[in-house]
Amino acid sequence: MVPIRQRLRAALPAAVKARDRTAMAALRATLAAIDNAEAAERPADVDRHLGIEQLPVGVGAAEVPRLVLTDAQVEQIVRAELAEREAVAREYERAGRPERAAELRAEADVLAAHLADPTHLADPSSTERS
């Protein structure tokens, strides 16, 4: 089975080619949320006891390895993005903005389709002919 992150990344170029703004917005935001979750914070006290002349400088001096998320954690992030869109859509409905609510529900539907169907990728033959 293809990991959900890989499915989302594969669906993004297809959405761009199809000029599907709804899918592009949902996929980009969700992939960004996954990338943000992998960012590791650099401990604040790493260089605290060093004098200014002893601080590491230059490219990569402050780099910290990224976190590695499991498939379950990635799926949880996608589900959170889906739930957030649905909750905000309800708020827009209450505020009298049904058009924006419909956009958010369409984005939620894109994410739900990728969660529900692991084979929800664009037809591979259509991308090879380009």
Q: pLDDT tens digits, residue range 81-126?
A: 999 999 999 999 999 999 999 999 999 999 999 987 655 544 443 3
Residue 59 lies in a domain: no
- Total domains in the chain come to 1
pLDDT at residue 40 in the model: 78
Residue 11 lies in a domain: yes
The pLDDT confidence band at residue 130, using thresholds 50, 70 and 90, is very low
The reply to whether 68 falls in a domain is yes
46 in a structural domain: no
The whole-model pTM stands at 0.75
Here the CATH number for the domain that contains residue 86 is 1.10.1510
Is 80 a member of any domain?
yes
Tell which wins on pLDDT, 43 or 14.
14
Position 47 in a domain: no
Residue 122: predicted pLDDT: 44
* Contacts of residue 3, Cβ cutoff 8 Å, sequence gap at least 6: 71, 74
Residue 53: DSSP 8-state = G
Q: Which domain holds residue 90?
A: 4-38+64-119
